[in-house]
Structure 1
Amino acid sequence: RNHLHAAGHICVLKDAFMCESAAEIANLTSSDKFDAALAIHLYKGGRLLQGSRIPFGIIFGGTDVNEDIKCKEKRQVMGAVLERARFAVAFTVEMKELAAAEWPDARKKIYVQSQGIKTMPSETFDWYRFLQNAAIPADSGPVHLFLLVCGLRRVKDPLYLVEAFSEWHRKDPSVHLGIIGPAVDPLYTSEVKERVKRAPGVHVLQELPQAELHAALRSCLALVNSSSSEGMSAAILE
């Protein structure tokens, strides 16, 4: 939004999870002040633009062409949305080819544009207080903290590494795994927290503002990713 504002546009940002139907977006865009729309994720965002009176483009998210495409109902919705879209953006050639294989008529309007990330790690971030808040002892020797940054949902599979890291922690108490991210799926988040309670050395960490998260990434030993399906992980780029 800041980028679009700086370019002279007026931008209204909406969270697809907070919108109940396409009618809600249609009502919003019915005023003359909206010239175009841009949806992120062909299914989650795109479905809300069905019947849109204004032109729109789509940015593929990753799970749309990797996972949602396997569901007949979602695939039909995505095909209809892509047919009406003026353009679509894929982050990789592979992602474009997946979409084009399913919807060949859309190939010419799918453009590949690599993801960009801007990081601004906080210079006042207190690493030792962060460890203290996570109940990770930092005063008895070095801490080797691995971070897994993801929205807590099943496709990100944060539980995949839990037992391996817990076993490693038993052999070397300096090793810890921190799982940090928003509770996208509340039910699955509860499952993760219950499992982690029984896994010494593994922690579900409190969310951080982006600048502090970037500082934590800079200070940790390594970032890990255990997604069962991934387009391009923003956390890895960061």
Structure 2
Amino acid sequence: MKVLFLACLSPKTGNHTTAERIRSHIESAGHSCELRDVADFHSPADVAHLVSQNPPFEGALAIHLFKAGRLLLDLRLPFGVIFGGTDINEDVKDEQKRVVMKQVLLKARFAVAFTEKLKEEAEFVLVSPDSKIYVQPQGIQTEEAEQFCWTEFLRSSEWHSENLHNILIIIGPKVDPALTAEVEAVVQRAAGVFLAQERSQQELHAAMKRCFAVVNSSVSEGMSAAILEAMDLRVPVLVRNIPGNAAVVKHGVTGLLFSSPQEFVHQSQRLLSDQELRERVVRSGKLYVEEHHSVKEERETYQRLMDKLHKVQFLT
């Protein structure tokens, strides 16, 4: 089956990494999968024109019901959708977007949520029969680059006022210009805080391994692959206490949660001073990822779901 896969593909982002991994699952089952960036299309009509080419596409998949799923509404092909955190955390607050998302979910042959809570919220807000939404956590597989150097971050004469070794490094692509400008302005005034450009996944994993802890301060998450990758690499995680993070981090067991800057400092100090706590969250985090985020199980799930699309396409 020839499958069109739509996702937000900003380079070296979590969305891109997730989409590439799922694409590989689909192709390993013998299907052809063309991964395309939603930014390449202006309307559902653009996608409808693409899928009609020769040989035509026979099915479609999208990550994010609004950002990508809306582009599939004009298709007569069977398609499936994967919820992103933005769908339930942000887009459902907009009435117009919510209407579109309901249409997408109604027409989709299946939907995938990363957590049981995300599924429950989707069923409530978007009024979907539970038989259509499957729960499949992200599969995690880490690979560390052979060499990675932090030299570029050690050139500043400014260090953290209390402990020269305590620094915060923020790594990632500049996706939102306004937010980037705001962060850069704050960092210029902060001692011991550094910004770094995005890295390949292997380089990022190597960087994680050289850190005392990985921090996630996001106010909106579906399922953060960075948190899970850190756990898999046996690096402690300190994450903001929001539903998406709390779904994968049990406080004091697989990581530490915080709800304010003061609590972040307190939990960081706990982690620095309590070796037993650090060893426990590292050990439990690694075990959690191995038990609940298997790439093999993720692959099998998406291959079964592609079989559902294939059978529908064949019958029609």
Question: TM-score if structure 1 supplies the norm length?
Answer: 0.81
Residues 101 and 126 of structure 2 are in contact (CA less than 8 Å); yes or no, is this contact kept in structure 1? no
Q: 1:191 to 1:68 in 2, by over 3 A?
A: same
Residues 179 and 205 of structure 1 are in contact (CA less than 8 Å); yes or no, is this contact kept in structure 2? yes
**Equivalent in the alignment of 2:117:** 94
User: Within 2, Cα distance between the matches of 1:21 and 1:135?
Assistant: 47
User: Within 2, Cα distance between the matches of 1:75 and 1:220?
Assistant: 40
Per the alignment, in what secondary structure is the counterpart of residue 57 of structure 1?
strand
Aligned residues between the structures: 206
CA shift at 1:234, angstroms? 0.9
**Residues 1:134 and 2:153 are matched in the alignment:** yes
Per the alignment, in what secondary structure is the counterpart of residue 24 of structure 1?
helix
**Equivalent in the alignment of 1:178:** 169
Q: 1:176 to 1:47 in 2, by over 3 A?
A: same
Q: How does 1:96-175 map to 2 (within 5 A)?
A: 96-122=119-145, 124-126=146-148, 129=149, 131-135=150-154, 169-175=160-166
User: Within 2, Cα distance between the matches of 1:180 and 1:18?
Assistant: 26
Report the RMSD for the aligned CA atoms in angstroms: 1.9
The one-letter code matched in structure 1 to 2:151 is Q
Paired-residue identity, %: 52
Residues 46 and 81 of structure 1 are in contact (CA less than 8 Å); yes or no, is this contact kept in structure 2? yes
User: Within 2, Cα distance between the matches of 1:175 and 1:85?
Assistant: 48
**Equivalent in the alignment of 2:106:** 83
**Residues 1:10 and 2:36 are matched in the alignment:** no
CA shift at 1:136, angstroms? 5.1
Q: Residue by residue, what CA displacement relative to the aligned partner does 1:212-236 show, whole Å, maximum 9, x if unpaired?
A: 1111111211101111121111100
Q: Residue by residue, what CA displacement relative to the aligned partner does 1:58-97 show, whole Å, maximum 9, x if unpaired?
A: 1001110121111111101101111100000011110001
Unaligned runs of 5+ in 2: 1-22, 230-316
Q: 1:107 to 1:183 in 2, by over 3 A?
A: same
**Residues 1:211 and 2:199 are matched in the alignment:** no
User: Which of 176, 189, 196 is the matching residue for 2:187?
Assistant: 196
User: Within 1, Cα distance between the matches of 2:177 and 2:41?
Assistant: 18
The one-letter code matched in structure 2 to 1:196 is V
User: Within 1, Cα distance between the matches of 2:41 and 2:184?
Assistant: 28
Q: Residue by residue, what CA displacement relative to the aligned partner does 1:86-136 show, whole Å, maximum 9, x if unpaired?
A: 0000111100010100233432201111211221111x223xx3x212245
Residues 82 and 106 of structure 1 are in contact (CA less than 8 Å); yes or no, is this contact kept in structure 2? no
Question: TM-score if structure 2 supplies the norm length?
Answer: 0.62
Runs of 4 or more above 6 Å deviation: none
The one-letter code matched in structure 1 to 2:100 is V
User: Which of 30, 41, 46 is the matching residue for 2:69?
Assistant: 46
**Residues 1:236 and 2:227 are matched in the alignment:** yes
**Equivalent in the alignment of 2:289:** none
Residues 98 and 126 of structure 2 are in contact (CA less than 8 Å); yes or no, is this contact kept in structure 1? no
Unaligned runs of 5+ in 1: 138-165
Q: Residue by residue, what CA displacement relative to the aligned partner does 1:22-48 show, whole Å, maximum 9, x if unpaired?
A: 222111111343111110011111111
User: Which of 35, 50, 53 is the matching residue for 1:28?
Assistant: 50
User: Within 2, Cα distance between the matches of 1:24 and 1:135?
Assistant: 48
Of the structure 1 ranges 101-110 and 178-187, higher mean CA displacement relative to structure 2 is found in 101-110
